[in-house]
Structures are given as C-alpha cells and as structure tokens.
Amino acid sequence: MRALVYHGPEDIRCDTLPDPSPPDVDGAVIRIERAAICGSDLHLYHGHMSSETGYGVGHEAIGEIVEVGSGVRRFRSGDRVLVSGVVGCAECGPCRTGNVAACETAPAMVFGVNQGLPGGQAEALAVPKADANLCAIPEGITAEQAVLLTDILPTGYFGAVGAEIQPGQDVAVIGCGPVGLMAILAAGLFSPARIFALDSVAERLAAAAGLGAIPVDVSADPLGQQLLDATGGLGPHAVIEAVGADASIQAAIGHVRRGGIVSVVGVNVRLDFPFPMALALMKNITFRIGICPIPLFWAPLLPLVREGRLAPDFVFTHRMGLSEGAEAYHLFAQRRDGVLKVLLDPAS
C-alpha cells in the first residue's frame, strides 16, 4: 500500500509499505478515508524523535473497517470509524474508562512514531484493541470533523478540562496553532467571560478572533500587559499553553492569577525545564501537563459536533492527496500559504 514514510530529517515521502497483516483476535484493519498532519508530527519530521528510518508516520486517521478480529465485540466490517491517535492496553481500570494516558500496563502509545504502531497517513491501518481504540462515526459528523476527533479536538478539550474553567472566568490560550485553536473552541464550552488568545502570527490571531477570542499579539506585548490591564491587574483565572516552548510555559505561569491553573497541551521534553518555583509558590498554582487520553473525551465531544455546537473543521486550510505528502509536510513545516492544518486523501 502507499503510505507516508520517514526517511530522515525533513524527508517524509509517499512510499510503498507492506499491507497490514490480518488483525489479531482483538484488532481491526481500517481502509483509510482521510488522514491529517498534526503539529506533533513536525517533531518527528525535524528528526527530533528517532534515528531510525523507513517507518510509516501519522496518527490522525479515519476510515472503514475491512477486517476485524473474532474477539471484537463492538464493531464489524463495513463500520465507519475514527481511530484514537493514542492507545492504551484497553484492559486496566483507567483504560476501560478511556483514560489511556493513565494506563497501568505501559505508557500510552502513539501511531506512526516508531513505538511499534504503524502510521495512519497511509491507505490502510492495523488497529490493536479495536473495541477500545475505535469510535463509530455517527450520522451528522463529516469526515473532516471525524479526523479532528482522532487527536486535536480532544487534545484542545483536554487542555480546557485541565484548566477547570468556571462560568464567568477569564482564560488565556497561549499559541493559536491548530491545537491552540481547538483549545479556544473547547474553552468556550465552559463559558468563560473572555478568552484571550496569544500568538504573534497575524493569521492565527485572526482565526482566534473568528472564534470570539480577544487576540493578543505577543510580539507587540511580550509581557502580557494587556492581560493585566483587562483583569484589574490579576491576570486570567487559567492559562492553557499550546506551544510547548520554555518561554511560553514560563509565561503561562507568569500570567495566571493567584490560585489559578496552568494547563499545558504543548509538548516540552526538557528534563531540566527552568520552572519559576518561587512564583508558583507565591501564587498557589496548579500546573498540569500531559498526553491527551483521547477516547475519554469522545462521549462529550461527539454529540456537540453532531449538533453543530462545535464546528472545528474550519482549521483545515489545505486538502491534498497522499501522493503529495512530501509537499504537504514542507508546506506545513514552513507555515506557508496561511496554512493551519492539512488534510490528506489516501485515494489520490
């Protein structure tokens, strides 16, 4: 089958990989209908994650089940499903509730990052533990919305849940890339009075403003004075960080008000991150960071998308064929052409 394959830094190409083997007793094989490139794929693209090459990439995919193991109970061939980008053991207590990030067997795994799971930017995908890791796509949800439910919409929601937003509070979201925009959408579900959206890229700030957020251009206001001015000097009750850079995580701790919450969905892999502990201590801060347990959030999000209360698909600015995968990665990595997120069609 055709699949996007990692060949080294800045070198991902549409290539041929073996078709998936028949699924084991609990697994399923999906014919991919649509896939997408995630911001976290860029870590891999830039060569930060593995020195090996030759493996399939991508963890955002939806499609139709074409083969299913005999032990799968909730799905059958022909079902149209979305795949959790992050998977757990499916059997332990947390996994049975969908909280795969607290799996008691092993750290949660991600498709397409050479941890043993294949990539989803391909024509087909083998999914282990199908009952736990697949979700039927209900009537009223489009393919593009379904792709967003495989990772970044749940991830944005995870950030908003971690921020414990109460109605009428003020929230800031740092970073208005695809995940940050999903975090803005999701934060709105908890009815803050205001969402401040921080970024320095005009298109991203404009997209945030289009969601009802108050754009804050951090290139013009690096210290967040606008946040203080708007909140009587207190800062927002919660800050969702969706970049992962050292400076922006530190800014989140700096901006939040006393007693507030910082909820990080950006990826930061420092082992000695310079944490302003004295500030956190004086401010009584709750700080969260983690991998989104995606299946945990399908129950709230699916009906909201289905009923039109959440409309995340604006984020797809580019639709390309799998054969254009190399170009798609280049475009996305270079933030060309106002790109927010790229959808891939395995059929072309």
Nearest approach, Cβ of residue 317 and a copy of itself (Å): 26
Q: How far apart are CA 172 and CA 179, in angstroms?
A: 14
By CB under 8 A, is residue 50 in contact with a copy of itself?
no
* Shortest reach from residue 192's CB to a copy of itself, in Å: 8
Contact 320, 293 (CB under 8 A): no
Which residue's entry shows tokens 């420092």? 270
115 is an interface residue for a copy of itself by CB under 8 A? no
**Of 288, 320, 321, 345, which one interacts with a copy of itself (CB under 8 A)?**
288
Single out the residue of 114, 119, 46, 52 nearest to residue 333, CA to CA: 46
Calpha distance 155→242 (Å, rounded): 10
Query: Can residue 96 be called a binding residue for a copy of itself (CB under 8 A)?
Result: yes
Question: Shortest approach of a copy of itself to residue 25 CB, angstroms?
Answer: 10
Q: What are phi and psi of 121, to 5 degrees?
A: -90, 75
Per-residue b/e over 25-43, b at no fewer than 16 CB within 10 Å?
ebbbbbbbbbbbbbbbbeb
The count of residues interacting with a copy of itself (CB under 8 A) is: 67
Does 285 participate in binding a copy of itself (rule CB under 8 A)?
yes
C-alpha torsion angle, residues 67, 85, 151, 200 (rounded to 10): -140
- Tokens 């949660």 belong to 108
139 makes contact with a copy of itself (CB under 8 A)? no
Print the binding letters for residues 188-217 with a copy of itself: x by CB under 8 A, - otherwise: -xxx-xx-----------------------
CA dihedral 256, 261, 264, 269 (to 10 degrees): 90
Binder to a copy of itself among 289, 320, 326, 333 (CB under 8 A)?
289
- Does position 279 interact with a copy of itself (CB under 8 A)? The reply is yes
Out of 49, 304, 320, 333, the only residue in the binding site for a copy of itself (CB under 8 A) is 304
* Positions that interact with a copy of itself (CB under 8 A): 71, 73-74, 91, 93-94, 96-97, 99, 101-104, 107, 162, 166-170, 189-191, 193-194, 232, 234, 249, 257-259, 264, 267-291, 293, 299-304, 306-307, 309
